[in-house]
Amino acid sequence: MKYDAVIVGSGASGGAVAYTLCKAGYKVVVLEKGRLIKREEFSKDELAYCRRDIVTPNLFDEYHTIEEKVDGKWVATPTYESGWSFWNGNIIGGSSNFMSGMLHRMHPDDFRLKSKYGEIKGANVVDWPISYDDLEPYYALAEELVGISGYYEKYPYEPPRSTKNFTQPPTKENAVVKLIDKSCKALGIKSLVTPRAVLSKDKGDRHACYYSNFCGSYGCSSGAKGSSREALLKPALATGNLTLMSNTHVKYLHAGEKDEVEYAVVVDTITGKEKKIYGNIFIVAAQAHESARLLLNSANKYHPHGLANSSGELGKNLIFSAGGSGQGELHKESLKHIQFEDLMRTGLFVNRSILDWYFIDHWWDGKFKGGSVEFMFEHQNIISRARKNNEENGKLVWGKALGEKLVKRFTQSKSIRFEIFNDWLPNDNCFVTLDKKHKDKYGMPVGKLRLEAHPHDIKVGKYIAKKCEKVLEEMGAENIYSDVSSVPPQNLIAGGCRFGDDPKTSVLNKYCQSHDIPNLFVADASFMPTGGSVPYTWTIYANALRVAEHIVQILQKKPLL
């Protein structure tokens, strides 16, 4: 069978494209190398989801090599040696199953970073070929389809909306928000309600949040989390137009002399058998670093440098989310303004963001693009929390002393955490290419990621961290610390297939369509030339819906199969 559209990857972007095309009546196949996990199969097993590879490949089978600078030289280390995994939820629905769901729109200025804030030496910053206004209708559409809860309050760095408010009210909040709001007000800071891709009310066959206390890193057993699987793929399947092929790994795409992708070569991850999947249009949505790797691995005599790579830009300008985090402890004996019993109530969200430092303009510190902050409790994983408290004066604590220490830690205090999101500036030493010396179990070269952050990223992160520490101090927290470094978060990856108007300097056009191969699109975060100062997911959903609408217009000019 030849499909109208072949989509590689079933995460946020792949799901959004599949939904749109299936609703428009086109025959679509989604190729996902991971398996299907049903809603009722998800558990909160910390060993399975956070300490094993139940939803990611075994690193001895599939891995990456990571290049880091050691004594002035670039040294590549396979991730099966370091244990540093760059896989994020290889199942139907992808990593959207495991997100915490803190979603923000990018600010209009994020689309014009270069013209608004100017050049930065050593950074490859460019403006986007589209504006916030181009994407806003799709932000609104994603909000409705995915089910994003929240409360909109007009604020200088809160992006404007075409709709008055969210269709879902905020999820239930822990009493600690009163302490955060009061402390921020005392410091002249505005705390805002965090938009979250978690239902506070039932929506169709998806049930409202059951407040398990385990959201990030875990699948949702009620359908409340706005994953691609729940919000987009299930409705797409209901149209009868979607073929969902799990356990199907795409080795490469074949494009001939006509500059058109003809088929995908896939392998069944269970049987090892290969076959070809034919289609009219191909959409790559495998997550940024893997999408670039797939296109590089698709090189042949007609496209010797990989597909969509006439510019030589494929894999370049890989970006992550810069920033860092910090934490403090709220203790029973020193807690103020709220009751300790209310603080210790499990399951409820913190749901507080700060955008005050999205743009810094200070007579002493200078003028520069800043970032956003999210407040939350520390991750509720019991094993991880216990391990953080098994030392004293640099020595391991054992037996009765350890038991007493853990009881006190879990019953007499609670840690409040902040996470900072600021721009990871694209630069010449952050990219993905192929490692010809290392191949995965399918015989394909693995992705080699060179990782280097721009010094400006650290400057911004540290500036905001100091501000956040002041908030924790005002809250009465103890043992406050923060950590801002150049280590990239493996779950927030973008770039590598930059879009733009000039085919000589970009991989894709403004519709995320290859400049070189008209029936090839890349719909995940690869297209982003800059990432803004918020998590990417809402923008990924919105842009994929925009791209899918353009693909529908192209397909309408072709006869249905």
Give CA–CA dist 60/82, Å, rounded.
11
Q: SS3 for 156?
A: coil
- Dihedral of the alpha carbons of 543, 547, 552, 557, in degrees to the nearest 10: 160
Q: Looking at residue 257, what is its pLDDT?
A: 87
Q: How far is CA 442 from CA 88, 264, 417, 439, in A?
A: 19, 15, 41, 8
* Average pLDDT in the chain: 95
Report pLDDT digits (tens) over 237-283.
999 999 999 999 999 999 998 899 999 999 999 999 999 999 999 99
What percent of the chain is helix, strand and coil (3-state, nearest 5)?
Answer: 30, 25, 45
Q: How far is CA 514 from CA 319, 499, 501, 502, in A?
A: 20, 9, 11, 11
Do the domain assignments include residue 374?
Answer: yes
In eight-state DSSP terms, residue 168 is B
Do the domain assignments include residue 186?
Answer: yes
Give CA–CA dist 268/250, Å, rounded.
9
Reported as a pLDDT band with limits 50, 70 and 90, residue 367 is: confident
Give CA–CA dist 170/148, Å, rounded.
9
Sign of the four-CA dihedral 250, 281, 246, 233:
positive
CATH number of residue 335's parent domain? 3.30.410
Q: Is the pLDDT of residue 87 over 60?
A: yes
Do residues 100 and 537 make contact, with C-beta atoms less than 8 angstroms apart? no
Do the domain assignments include residue 393?
Answer: yes
Report pLDDT digits (tens) over 280-333.
999 999 999 999 999 999 999 999 999 999 999 999 999 999 999 999 999 999
Q: Looking at residue 46, what is its pLDDT?
A: 86
Nearest in space to 546 (alpha carbons), one of 32, 251, 192, 133: 133
Do the domain assignments include residue 55?
Answer: no
Q: pTM higher than 0.85 for the full model?
A: yes
Average pLDDT (435-444) is 96
Q: Looking at residue 560, what is its pLDDT?
A: 45
In this structure, the strands spanning 395-396 and 391-392 are: antiparallel
Average pLDDT (200-226) is 94
Do the domain assignments include residue 185?
Answer: yes
Do the domain assignments include residue 356?
Answer: yes
Reported as a pLDDT band with limits 50, 70 and 90, residue 341 is: very high
Do the domain assignments include residue 442?
Answer: no
Give CA–CA dist 240/238, Å, rounded.
5
Do residues 231 and 144 make contact, with C-beta atoms less than 8 angstroms apart? no
Q: What's the total number of domains in the chain?
A: 1
Give CA–CA dist 431/293, Å, rounded.
11
The boundaries of the domain holding residue 335 are 169-194+322-423+454-487
Do the domain assignments include residue 347?
Answer: yes
Nearest in space to 80 (alpha carbons), one of 95, 69, 93, 65: 65
Give CA–CA dist 493/524, Å, rounded.
10
